[in-house]
Amino acid sequence: MQTETEFNTAVRSLGACVYPSPLKSNKFISDSERLVINSKLGYLKKALQKGKEPLAVEYAGPRKDLFFQAGLTKAGIVTCGGLCPGLNDVIRSIVMALHYNYGCKEIYGFRNGYQGITYKASEKPYKLKPQDVLNIHNDGGTVLGSSRGAPDMEQIIDYLADNDINILFTIGGDGTQRGAHAIYKAACEKGHKLSVVGLPKTIDNDIAFTSKSFGFLTACEEARHSITSAFNEARGAYGGIGIVKLMGRDSGFIAANAVLANNSAKFCLIPEEDFDLEGKNGLLNAIHKRINAGKSTVIVVAEGAGQHFFKGGQVHKDASGNVLHNDIGLFLKDKIKTYLKENNLPASVKYIDPSYIIRSQPANAEDSAFCLLLGQHAVHAAMAGKTDIVIGSWDNQFVHIPIEMAVHKRKKIDTSGHFWESVRFATGQPLIKNS
């Protein structure tokens, strides 16, 4: 594992910026302006004592001089992976910023993910104008469509180069951004000057060096409604039990934050912390105690939690290479029902999985505003010739993160930290582990 000071935070550029920006701004950002990632005094002192510069990243924002001449550059946009609130907001923001701020008239929306950036694509790209995206932020999903799977680099670069497209905005998670990094390298090998700028889309909020990703806040807001429903169902029956399964393949941020927002769940199960079912300190015994006390129980579980119960089974992956987890929600429902029957406990179990409802929602107000800013900063970066980066949000500032740095690992909840302790205080849950 690399330490904080070992990352290369230098941002790649296509070359000298020789064209003046058309923006009328007194807030231009210099490339020398940088944001320290870890602002804790102890860390800063140690870094300086060792003669090392603290890990810092480049600020995002408009540049005074551009690599691409305003109005004469062609750009493309692609969305990949699963749906997420805010996809249409980001597309809209990019189109509006390119058109109105930089005079770009040729903006192409590639259909159905990376497979749309080839001559073999089943659907030709959209030529996007402001009127085409004017109201799309009111709808969930993506007007461009999406897909998973590794891109064909040779076909993609041939298509982009042949059509003089010099900017590519890649909207997607870590798999998408790894593909974007590969596209950047392939463009270099071909000698095609291509600005590749990623916008990290992960509803799970698990992109490294990014405080929050778009769609996450909407997901938490929608998820808490499902927890409320489970709570109402549970308290409507003696010893009632409600189970809510939420997104969170490898990180439990949605489950944890939704539990804090709702504050009626008694157990929050996340991928970062294993738990036991059987035994004195197991989940089943904890539920048994609540039933004996005449109390209802709401369990919120992230989709990636409890995968240790399925060890030894066949491993399946999706088209992007992500491991398809076994369904922990249905597993818990069946185990709890069996336990209740075996112990003659008069309780009912209600199970809710709102995942597809949540991820297809339009962005809420805060997410929508965040998406607009994210898109604007992506356009500023691309026009200045920045490449092989994602636009990150850190300490309430927008920054440029090299793609390799952003995807080196998934961000996870620190189960020894204050945040997870706050979740445990809110639920009152014990350590559900026998050893």
Residues annotated as catalytic (active site), given as ranges: 204
* Alpha carbon distance 187, 63 (integer Å): 24
User: Other C-beta atoms within 10 Å of 3: how many?
Assistant: 8
Nearest to 7 by CA among 335, 355, 402, 430: 402
- Angstrom CA distances, 22 to 73, 97, 400, stand at 14, 12, 22
N- to C-terminal Cα distance for the chain?
27
The CA distance from 91 to 70, in Å, is 19
Buried b (16+ CB within 10 A) or exposed e, 314-342: eeeeeebebeebbebbebbbebbeebbee
CB 230 within 8 A of CB 354: no
**Distance from C-alpha of 293 to C-alpha of 334, rounded to nearest angstrom:** 23
